[in-house]
A and B are shown apart, each in its own frame.
Chain A
Amino acid sequence: MASMATTTSSTSSVWEKEAGEIRKPGIIHVVILALFTGIGIVVGTFGSLAVPIGFVSAFWPGQAVQSIGSIWFGGWGAISAFLFPLISNSLSGSAPLPVSIAYIPGNLAQGIIAAIAFRAFKSDPSLRTSKDWVVWILLGAILPNAIGAIWGTGVLVAFGLVTSAAAVTTVLGWFIGNSIPSIILGSIVLKFVSPLVLRSKAFCKGWWA
């Protein structure tokens, strides 16, 4: 019981400001936005080229980068979440620019839902408790990927790249192809890198700082 109380106290402190603490967006946040977008470009491009099955990849870990970026860096991570696929899709050839632009709301959702959930439920990005794991897997990986798959397939149908009769098959392929690597990769990165990020100046307790 005592250990539970300690854990609860430490998880809530991740998002709560210290007494007198003032946090303002700074140039480091712009830099981390650019650097994180760079990581996303590499991860997204490699993922798309690794096991391509048409417009979706059987292994696209980019969604994990979208979610964890938004968890750690709030709005900056959310911007990165929709910015890097514009470039990585172009470089990998998995989607042309107009299609990538239409993906933006889906990509934004794939990033921002996890950020909202972790802040709302005061979950620790280092995944210390079972509650943190549940929030991460359900609201950081499964729900965002479900929304992303539905939106993305809608875009493909709207662009005439997939017939509406094939929409359900595409949604399922998209959802599974993104969710599994997101859970595996995202869990490892959150578990091992979050302690470093939480100590850095770039970490955002709020949305912009």
Chain B
Amino acid sequence: MAITAEAPGGARAAKMRKTLLGYVPIESPFYRYHPVTRLVLFVFIGVVPIFIDMPEINFALVVLTILLLLWGKADLKRLRIYMPMIVTIAIFMFLVVFLAPGNDPTYTPVRIGPATIYYQPVFFTFASYWRLMAMLFGTILYFSTNRERDMLVALRSLKLPFIASYVVGFSIRAAGMFMEDFSTIREAEQARGLDKSALKLADQVKLYVMYLVPLFSIALRRADEISHALFARGYNFTGKVGRGDKRSDYILTKYTMTKADWAWVTGLVLAFVAAAVAEYGYGGFRLVHSPINILLRQALGIG
């Protein structure tokens, strides 16, 4: 799906692409790269923080991801929906470690006003928070700059079986369809005079639950229609045609891996392996190497 504009000569030219989390200009530098390269970048940024305990590096990954979003011309205002999650995760993590710090006698107590916190679990939580943020921003980057079609192309290029790639692609498209159905139901209620703002929280929850009944009914009807349509077009579980030959994959003919794609994929895979070896082989990213940790321990006189 794309937003179009009137081009010279009266033709309609696409200007924006609708990604899974918003719109990105069609001339975004991300689209110079093959969907497989973008998927590998996602795996790298989204998974590599597992190997990294040092909060400085994970914070740098978050900054890198934001810079990539800016470079890719993604609308950063869309990230506002994540603000409550980013804040509440921090509150949750630090509240839990404050209320249940554990009873290790080697922990160093630190008094802040009337409260006592313990340095080791609090710093561990601080580091874990930035690891989580780095992984989350990697995920946000991917879903902000890729469409369901890009995901499908990447999975098919990686030789995922037809049925699996079909289910993943169609699931994401189905989510979009149900969002539209959901909006239709809500608009129909508003047209009949429902004022949601006047409802109590309990009634709003009840209303939310009741939305699912028509949504499920629509899903059942749609499953029938789509399965008949697929049957009529000769689709089956295997993705092969009647004589047993492989079905030609039209969508893959529209994308080719360039030398730049291969270079990025190779570089990212090597960097991923290097990070894993550095951590599990040599402990290179452990908390003891964190400059912030070293400074704080010196300030608190922890040996």
Contacts and interface: CB of A to CB of B under 8 A. Distances in A.
A42 B46 contact: no
Interface string B193-236: 00000000000010011101101110110111011001100011
Instruction: Give the size range of A's interface with the partner.
Output: 35 or more
A182 B47 CA distance: 31
Nearest to A50: B208
Contacts of A159: 50, 128, 131
Dominant SS at the B interface?
A: helix
Contacts of A87: 171-172, 175
Interface in B115-135: 121, 124-125, 127-128, 131-132, 135
B81 A166 contact: no
A63 interface: no
Interface stretch (B66-74, B92-100, B246-254, B262-270): B92-100
Contacts of B132: 96, 99, 161
A37 B53 CA distance: 34
Given A28-B224, A162-B96, A188-B213, A39 B219 contact: yes
Nearest to B82: A93
Interface residues of B, number: 75
B33 interface: no
Contacts of B217: 193, 196
Contacts of B292: none
A49 B219 contact: no
B102 to A, nearest CB: 3
A200 B139 contact: no
Q: Which 9 A-B pairs have the closest CB atoms?
A: A38-B174, A54-B92, A96-B135, A165-B102, A37-B171, A28-B227, A34-B170, A41-B175, A166-B96
